[in-house]
Amino acid sequence: MKILFLGDIVGKPARVYLKELLPSLRSTLSLDFIIANGENAAGGSSLTPDTAQEIFESGVDVVTTGDHIFKKQEAKEVLATMDVIRPLNYGELASGRGYIIKESKGKKIGVINLLGRVFMQPVDCPFKTIRDTLENIKKEAKVIIVDMHAEATSEKLAMGYFLAGKVSACLGTHTHIPTADEKIIDNYTAYITDLGMTGSFDSVLGREKHQIIERFLTNMPVRFNLAQGDVRAQGLIMEIDDQTGGALSIERVEYRKDDKTGGAL
């Protein structure tokens, strides 16, 4: 099966572009399943029922999140009622769930969200959490996609090797900057340190660049508005063998709203 995973969706410019991009992409590329990280989708932080609905209407099947998910109160309602997951290693007392099993053309797909701990908020250990949970999830789904939402490249790569041969894909999100290290580890597990971003690229990570520069120059608190220009969607397309659960091929992709170009990088 063919699965597209998109990097962090940042605000309205990204949501509007996905509505334009995904329906035709899904049919042109015969995509079976689309996953996207939505932790920045509502005004740059978290998700609301309306913004999540917009993302699902554009054709996304499952939304993963990260450290920004609980910045809006409405996120609890989204996690309780929609196919949106939060990092599994927030622990069992946090709202929402850390993984989901969905079906596409009769085949089950498990999607798991993890949060890194290096240079991030303290949460449960992502390595021990997935080690203790994975066997149960594997009883339900052969194809398993992990979103490793983390800051440090080392922690993401270590997770990729930790899960090698055990999951179909371990893909990094959070930094909004794509890396060029995509590979299939042990001839089974698709890996990339970061998928990149879906949002304005005339920006710093999706926010107005002049405001970010002012913050760095003055050390004063500055409001960061969403940037609008040069909207792109970045991610990875994977072909996965639904009999073995292993990745057969991977391709980094980028689509551009302004010149309607895009595809494999």
The residues that are catalytic are 68
Ramachandran class of 226: left when φ > 0, alpha when ψ lies in -120 to 50, beta otherwise: beta
Residues touching Fe ion, count (CB under 5 A): 6
The smaller minimum CB distance to Fe ion, of residues 67 and 194, is found at 67
Rounded CA gap, 105 and 249, in Å? Answer: 20
Q: Are 151 and 173 in contact (CB under 8 A)?
A: no
Q: Does 147 bind Fe ion (CB under 5 A)?
A: no
- Residue carrying structure tokens 């109160």: 73
Q: Are 191 and 146 in contact (CB under 8 A)?
A: no
Q: Does 67 bind Fe ion (CB under 5 A)?
A: yes
Q: Does 155 bind Fe ion (CB under 5 A)?
A: no
3-state secondary structure of 219: coil
The smaller minimum CB distance to Fe ion, of residues 72 and 108, is found at 72
Strand partners, 263: 254
Q: Does 54 bind Fe ion (CB under 5 A)?
A: no
Closest-CA residue to 159 (of 168, 141, 174, 172): 172
Cβ at position 44, least distance to Fe ion in Å: 9
Interface pattern 13-42 for Fe ion (x via CB under 5 A): --------------------------xx--
Q: Does 65 bind Fe ion (CB under 5 A)?
A: no
Footprint (CB under 5 A) of Fe ion, residues 169-208: 174
Rounded CA gap, 263 and 25, in Å? Answer: 10
Q: Which segment (3-11, 43-51, 112-120, 244-252) binds Fe ion by CB under 5 A?
A: 3-11
Cβ at position 146, least distance to Fe ion in Å: 15
Q: Which residues bind Fe ion (CB under 5 A)?
A: 8, 39-40, 66-67, 174
